[in-house]
Structure 1
Amino acid sequence: MYILKSGIKKDPVRRWMLPDRIFFGHGACHILAGTYLLHPPVAGFYAERIVTADGFPGAHVYVTDGTVAFDYHGYSLRARLLAHHRKGWSRHRAGWTCEMVPVNFDLLDTLELNLRKMLGPDQYLHDPIPRAQTFIRRIDHNHCYADTCVPR
């Protein structure tokens, strides 16, 4: 699990300079999920949130069809993504717990996001939506989704 150095998320320039996977994995996951849902490369996906207990870090947003999930890692089995996330945060924070909640708001609407303590697209140094679109375009979605669904 990657832990950001102190102060990066509060510094717009340093945050923007992060590599894509770290940028979308540590604070802009909702932007990636919302952008994915604008023009879903694989049908049937919806957004879910990992909501942590009060005072704990580790909230996360991803898209899923209920079996397969997509986030900054690419495609993975939803159960595997959740186990990885839970294991990583539990190791670093005693008592860490969470619940998965369907997203019932626009992941690219600043007001809706701010109500949930997330930044809107217009609150980053530059517009993160084109960055998310580029990240998403680099993936062969049909191949990666099919490969994820193959029993191992």
Structure 2
Amino acid sequence: MPDRVFFACGACHILAYAFLEQHGEKGWQAVWIKPAAGHTGNHIFATDGVRAFDYHGVCDRGRLLSHYWRRARLHHPGWDATLETLDAEILIAGPASRQIDGLWLRGPSEYFQDALPRARAFLDRFPALAAL
């Protein structure tokens, strides 16, 4: 499976964690798009409140959220969600993430191969990150 697809379809939290390892001290944090009751469509990205980073790269936070809401509602009319800040460590905690209502994340080692080295390598594809 190509890396972009891997981080778009279930391992976004691992990518967010790898990003925060490098940029968390610069005011970036993890945000969970938590679907409203009865809906699906989780996503976790990193943000500094203005910009956002996920498998697409860095973009305007509002643009990412607008795109996500528009796409979700296209496929699921009435879809809605809230935004919740998460501690970086919960992103790789696997079973401990299930203590948070609605969150169910795999730890890096729960993937076929440890997903964390793959996420760190994927970040290298975005040379503009060095300027953050």
Q: Compute the TM-score of the two structures, normalised by the length of structure 1.
A: 0.77
Q: Compute the TM-score of the two structures, normalised by the length of structure 2.
A: 0.88
The Cα shift of 1:121 comes to: 1.1
8 A contact 2:29–2:87 mirrored in 1: no
Q: Post-superposition, which runs of at least 4 consecutive aligned residues in structure 1 deviate over 6 A?
A: none
Q: 1:67 aligned to 2:13?
A: no
- Kindly provide the amino acid, as one letter, of the partner of residue 120 in structure 1: G
Q: Larger helix proportion, structure 1 or 2? A: 2
- Once the two structures are superposed, residues 70-121 of structure 1 have per-residue CA deviations (whole angstroms, 9 ceiling, x without a partner) of 0000000000000000000000002100011111362111222344212111
8 A contact 2:17–2:88 mirrored in 1: no
Q: 1:77 aligned to 2:60?
A: yes
8 A contact 1:49–1:101 mirrored in 2: yes
Determine helix, strand or coil for the equivalent of 2:53: strand
- Report the equivalent of 1:7: none
Instruction: State percent identity of aligned pairs.
Output: 37
C-alpha distance in structure 1 between counterparts of 2:23 and 2:37, whole Å: 32
- Once the two structures are superposed, residues 12-35 of structure 1 have per-residue CA deviations (whole angstroms, 9 ceiling, x without a partner) of xxxxxx211111011100000011
Alignment of 1:72-151 (within 5 A): 72-104=55-87, 106=89, 107-115=91-99, 116-140=103-127, 141-142=129-130
Q: Which runs of 5+ in 1 are unaligned?
A: 1-17, 146-152
8 A contact 2:15–2:116 mirrored in 1: yes
- Report the equivalent of 1:50: 33
C-alpha distance in structure 1 between counterparts of 2:54 and 2:92, whole Å: 16
- Report the equivalent of 2:20: 37
For the aligned residues, what is the CA RMSD? 1.7
- Kindly provide the amino acid, as one letter, of the partner of residue 97 in structure 1: D
Determine helix, strand or coil for the equivalent of 1:66: coil
8 A contact 1:52–1:98 mirrored in 2: yes
Q: Which runs of 5+ in 2 are unaligned?
A: none
Say how many residue pairs are matched.
Answer: 127
8 A contact 2:30–2:88 mirrored in 1: no
